[in-house]
Structure 1
């Protein structure tokens, strides 16, 4: 079985700052050249490095940033036959990171707005991983198509928005869980969200690890305390490793432990970096 990731691909400009700017404030810092990013691309690379056969579907522009993103995916072993080249410019993100690894991110969506679910292959027994940086209507169409043929759907509700459809597995962090809880009038923990929505819910908890709730499931897996350089991409590494673990047929405790390991390792370097399977296995034990 293989994994299909449908989502965003960005050129990220990372600014290292002494502190994150307040409204109206200018903070001087340093930035390097554009690096690959976008939740879809990050998660596809994370899944491939964690051992999953992975295809990425999305859109980039016919520009230097698009060429850079294509090359990055190919170097990671990701199939890019579903990556369209469109007339809009490749998406860009300004990522501001302070000395404690906290971040603020602004995104110009560009080509991501032209990502189309109709180009995504679906097949029984496979797994599709989505996020919320492409049009919600496209995610909704893909969720319906995938579930109709018996393909498992994992949706990372990032950035937070109303559900475009009901996935098999929903992944949220704490702010995203709180957003959903407000919409559905329930608690923000995984068990309450599962009871309200009906799907399996995984809630990431930063250094505290992650919790998961579903039919007959109530799990908490502790995190791995490591020195934090930058939290950018940690959630994407977590999602990619989760998908890879599911495809490998691991049980839920092992899936969560490997996802926590990948997320922790992603925090040890600047940028949206994903650990490989060897590093994940070494930390997860």
Structure 2
């Protein structure tokens, strides 16, 4: 069982020829609405990969709530832990360039007041940084000795040594690895070096995603490196979330970390080959096919 405590958003996506520079306005194509939010994206990715998943979070009492929850419900995620609050449903404004790169602005809304409650006694808890740090810390404390904790350090923000001590696996992209190592004054010549230093200094398993180069995990004294399949990217919006969700699904299914890492890298690449975030998450059959 996987419990995801995190953000639920509605994404407004605009395709553009290129992302704007600071202070610049660019014209785009017709906008589209997609269910999103890092937490919801990871829940959908894990569910499509074959895991049993429950979502804990919050939405508003507005017109955006139903479409924001639509992807979770379609993927079979248990949404009974999603609260309806007075704050508006979270919203993300996303520009997607012709080369697949994106720029994202998030208005957290209801996510800022989300609270973790009724955590089960076993399984995996997945969290991220699109909800309040205090709420994440409370969830990690409640999960101690009851749930394995996977934390995705996205978007990057300050984290304490005490907070790291409550996490079993810390998932970061390259910039997040540099930022986390920097705040502890650790070696950061490369993203892998930063992740290795964090793992050694804080007795936590770290995973750093490296885009087209795959991912690397530092587990105790072990190093696990996996490559990513070569793809032509269409939209990279949900790739990191897909990686984290499928990693959790693999571990929940009993796979050792290297095998779960390989599935996550393949799934993350597949998520870049279609538009949107949740709509691009691959199912278990598609992951299996590409792995073969």
Q: How far does residue 199 in structure 1 lie from its aligned partner after superposition? A: 0.4
Report the Cα distance in structure 2 between the residues aligned to 1:69 and 1:102, rounded to whole angstroms.
Answer: 23
Distance in 1 (alpha carbons) for counterparts of 2:80 and 2:25: 42
Give a deviation string over 1:239-273, Cα, whole Å, max 9, x none: 00000000001122211110001100000011102
Corresponding position of 2:26: 27
Contact 1:10–1:93, Cα closer than 8 Å, also in 2: yes
Residue 266 of structure 2 aligns with which residue?
Answer: 261
Match of 1:239 in 2: 244
For residues 154 and 66 of structure 2, the distance between their equivalents in structure 1, rounded to whole angstroms, comes to 25
Please name the residue that 1:69 is paired with.
68
CA contact (8 A) 2:237 2:272 kept: yes
Measured against aligned partners, the alpha-carbon deviations of 1:146-200 in whole angstroms (never above 9, x if no partner) come to: 01x3310000000001226121000000000000111111134232220122100
Distance 1:23 1:71 in 2: 34
Structure 2 residue corresponding to 1:161, chosen from 157, 162, 174: 157
Instruction: Give the C-alpha shift of residue 216 in structure 1.
Output: 3.4
Paired position in structure 2 for 1:226: 231
Q: Residues 62-104 of structure 1, C-alpha deviation per residue, up to 9 Å, x if partnerless?
A: 1221111223211110000100111111011110111111111
Aligned partner (choices 135, 140, 147) of residue 137 of structure 2: 140
- Partner residue in 2 for 1:284: 291
State the Cα distance separating 1:120 from its structure 2 match: 4.2
Q: Deviations over 1:201-228 (max 9, x none)?
A: 0000000000000213211101111010
Question: Structure 1, unaligned stretches of length 5 or more?
Answer: none
TM-score (norm 1): 0.96
Secondary structure at the aligned position of 1:26 is classed as: coil
1:80 partnered with 2:85: no
Structure 2 unaligned residues grouped into runs of 5+: none
**Alignment partner of 1:107: what SS?**
strand
Alignment of 1:122 onto 2:115: no
**Within-5 A mapping of 1:196-207:** 196-207=201-212
Asked if structure 1 preserves the Cα contact closer than 8 Å seen for 2:15 and 2:31, the reply is no
User: Which residue does 2:55 correspond to in 1?
Assistant: 56
Contact 2:93 2:104 in 1 (8 A): yes
1:57, 1:120 within 8 Å by CA — same for their partners in 2?
A: no
Contact 1:209–1:223 (CA<8 Å) still a contact in 2?
Answer: yes
- Whether 1:152 aligns to 2:157 is no
- 2:275 equivalent in structure 1: 270
- 1:32 positional shift: 2.6
**Which aligned segments of 4 or more residues in structure 1 are displaced greater than 3 angstroms?**
none
Partner residue in 2 for 1:185: 185
* 1:209-224 equivalence runs, <5 A: 209-224=214-229
